Chains A and B, each alone.
Chain A
Amino acid sequence: NAGVTQTPKFRILKIGQSMTLQCTQDMNHNYMYWYRQDPGMGLKLIYYSVGAGITDKGEVPNGYNVSRSTTEDFPLRLELAAPSQTSVYFCATSGGRGTDTQYFGPGTRLTVL
């Protein structure tokens, strides 16, 4: 089992460009999450999904969009990239929400110049 995979590992964007961060899991988990982590800080929740077709905003959703068409995939879309979105992005999954262990991917390091 690969667990949670994220692509790309690194990306540099210019201001105003857009991109999609990919997240795929083979754990058959219903719950998936996107976090961002700025230097020296804890993780902040961007969006989460409780199953295919269902998504909801987290703490810092502005500037991002998500979709969940399958159990396995939970892409994160950045429209009109801004320097404030320079961060490391982590995808995570869990079997349940709140009291279930979360499993994290390796992260995508994004720089917006």
Chain B
Amino acid sequence: DAKTTQPPSMDCAEGRAANLPCNHSTISGNEYVYWYRQIHSQGPQYIIHGLKNNETNEMASLIITEDRKSSTLILPHATLRDTAVYYCIGNNYGQNFVFGPGTRLSVLP
């Protein structure tokens, strides 16, 4: 598994875009970048994943650098309900997910 590094915490104003960075400089060519979030001790929730190309869904956008050594999760219009711990995971087929400590995002009113 690629080791990922995330800032321990971030703040974002409500209604603004939240940009959560993740470094995964050791990621291999077959490893996907996954993002999950965990709201107040609930079970983690899948957000988005990608391999090389940028991805977008109804929850977020994922921007992966061309060298794939880092990525950014973008929540375009953060709300108070987006306050959570966000996990960035590099993973490959046949491997188990490894959850690090993640980034605690606080959306402020």
Residue ranges of A at the interface with B (Cβ–Cβ < 8 Å)? 4, 33, 35, 40-45, 48, 58-59, 88, 90, 92, 96-99, 101-107, 109
Contacts and interface: CB of A to CB of B under 8 A. Distances in A.
Contact of A90 (B44, B49, B101, B102): B44
Given A48-B96, A96-B93, A102-B97, A42 B87 contact: yes
Interface residues of B, number: 23
B interface: dominant SS: loop
A98 B92 contact: yes
B40 to A, nearest CB: 11
A109 B87 CA distance: 21
B42 A98 contact: no
Contacts of A102: 36, 44, 46, 97
Nearest to A33: B96
A19 to B, nearest CB: 20
